[in-house]
Amino acid sequence: MRRIAVCPGSFDPVTLGHLDIITRASMLFDKVIVLISTNATKKEASFTATERMLMIAEATAHLDNVVIDILDGLLVDYVKRVQAVAIVKGLRAVSDFEYEFQMALTNKVLYAGAETVFLTTSQENMYLSSSVVKQIAYFNGDISPFVPACILEMIQQRLMKERGAFDDEY
Ligand code: PNS
């Protein structure tokens, strides 16, 4: 039986921290589906789901068993549909724990057929988040230490355009 894992997240945009988790998951499972999902507790995403998909596709092109999909609905419904055995999430410092613990337990009640597997974030990515990357890019800072090199330009251009639109408005 092929063991499928789903790696859900906002990926707005994908960072080296995400890529590290996706890469390590691809070594543990036969197939990994990176699932661009909506976090209803976060404000509107900066990148469209299609843009996020293109960026992840570029950054994971070298990983044969990784595919990308977009979810508009409940994670557990998708996991059940594709018969995944695991939901893989990266766990950073203590700040992530309570929220991730709550989601894992809730998902288990909604669907008991898959386990949430936490991979500890590598030490160098412990502090990294998409929102920090966006803050730096917004003020024209260097985001190259934080995002995959192949999509650096894509992210910078897109966020600069966003800032241009904001400046034009005010
Ligand atoms: O990268 P994030 O924002 O921490 O990821 C959270 C995400 C998108 C995985 C979570 O919000 C999610 O699973 N959204 C899909 C909708 C859903 O199933 N929500 C219930 C979670 S208990």
Quote the DSSP letter at residue 89. E
Q: pTM for this one?
A: 0.93
Q: Is residue 20 part of a domain?
A: yes
Tokens of 56: 């992840």
Quote the DSSP letter at residue 116. E
Burial environment of residue 82 by CB neighbours within 10 A (0 to 12, 13 to 18, 19 or more) = middle
Contact 32, 88 (CB under 8 A): yes
Q: Is residue 144 part of a domain?
A: no
Q: Which residues of 144-153 are buried (b: 16+ CB within 10 A; e: fewer)?
A: eebbbeebee
Q: Which of 42, 131, 144, 161 is catalytic?
A: 42
Beta strands 86-91 and 115-120: pairing type? Answer: parallel
How many structural domains does the chain have?
1
Q: Is residue 37 part of a domain?
A: yes
Name the residue at shortest CA distance from atom 17 of ligand 1: 74
Q: Is residue 160 part of a domain?
A: no
Name the residue at shortest CA distance from atom 13 of ligand 1: 75
Q: Is residue 161 part of a domain?
A: no
> What is the CA(74)–ligand 1 centre distance, in A?
8
Q: Is residue 41 part of a domain?
A: yes
Domain of residue 82 covers 4-125
Higher pLDDT, 84 or 136: 84
Q: Which of 24, 31, 80, 92 is catalytic?
A: 92
Q: Tell me the one-letter amino acid at 38.
A: T
Nearest to 104 by CA among 69, 71, 70, 79: 79
Tell which atom from ligand 1 comes closest to the C-alpha of 106: 22
pLDDT (tens digit per residue) in 12-65: 999 999 999 999 999 999 999 999 998 888 889 999 999 999 999 999 999 999
pLDDT (tens digit per residue) in 106-128: 999 999 999 999 999 998 888 89
Nearest to 81 by CA among 73, 93, 91, 92: 73
Name the residue at shortest CA distance from atom 20 of ligand 1: 74
Q: Is 130 in the pocket of ligand 1 (CB under 6 A)?
A: no
Q: Give the model's pLDDT for residue 167.
A: 61
Contact 5, 87 (CB under 8 A): yes
Kindly report the CATH number assigned to the domain that includes residue 44. 3.40.50.620
Q: Is residue 69 part of a domain?
A: yes
For the chain, give the mean pLDDT: 92
Q: Is residue 138 part of a domain?
A: no
User: Given pLDDT bands bounded at 50, 70 and 90, which one contains residue 166?
Assistant: low
